[in-house]
Amino acid sequence: MDTTTPSLALHPFTVEDAERLLSGEVDPHDGWAGGYSFTDEPELLREFVRAVRMSGDPAPFGPYLVRLPDEGAAIGGVNLFGPLSDDGEIEFAFGLVPAARGRGLAEIVVGEALALVRANGGLVATAEAEIANLPARRVLERVGMGERSRTSESITYAIRF
């Protein structure tokens, strides 16, 4: 089921979607704005199917496509790497195509992802951002996430619900 806001929708990406794309059956809604789509990265699709077969469907966690209202092409994605750990923690990652950046949409995407985690029993959410990726770091900070740890290349942010 889609999670919708006035600005965007998060559409769950399913095993059926992945298997359909891997078989070569592509729907117009599979494309991303700017031409990118999951069909360009079959290894991600195979890994998702493999993970589900090994560990079960992580729904309501897992990958989501981000779309603008009334538009078919995805403008990005968010992946909640579920299921939750035994202590209620989950990691997530997000990204938007370049044409969708700079409009405040990433903050909405991350906020909705965190709301989904919280509504489904998550106690802690984490995300990693490269130190050089200042826009992603600022988004994570604006939604209330704080630095948990850092390496020479990246910072891990966390929020406790």
Mean pLDDT of the region 24-40: 61
Helical spans, DSSP H, in 8-98: 15-22, 42-55
Cβ(63)–Cβ(79) under 8 Å? yes
Cα gap 107→133, rounded to integer Å: 15
Task: Give the confidence band of 32 by pLDDT, cuts at 50, 70, 90.
Answer: low
Which range is most confident: 50-64, 77-91, 94-108, 135-149? 135-149
- Give the per-residue pLDDT at 117: 97
Query: What is the per-residue pLDDT across 55-76, written as a single tens digit (0 to 9) for each?
Result: 888 889 988 889 888 766 788 8
Q: Which of 16-25, 110-119, 144-153 has the lowest mean pLDDT?
A: 16-25
Mean pLDDT of the region 102-108: 94
Task: Give the confidence band of 154 by pLDDT, cuts at 50, 70, 90.
Answer: very high
Cα gap 37→29, rounded to integer Å: 10
The three-point CA angle 98-102-103 to 5° equals 110
Dihedral sign computed on CA atoms, order 99, 13, 28, 36: positive
Which range is most confident: 45-54, 64-73, 102-111? 102-111
**For residue 115, is pLDDT > 90?**
yes
Q: Tokens 């700079």, residue?
A: 102
Q: Is 80 exposed, middle or buried (0-12, 13-18, 19+ CB in 10 A)?
A: buried
Cα gap 9→71, rounded to integer Å: 10
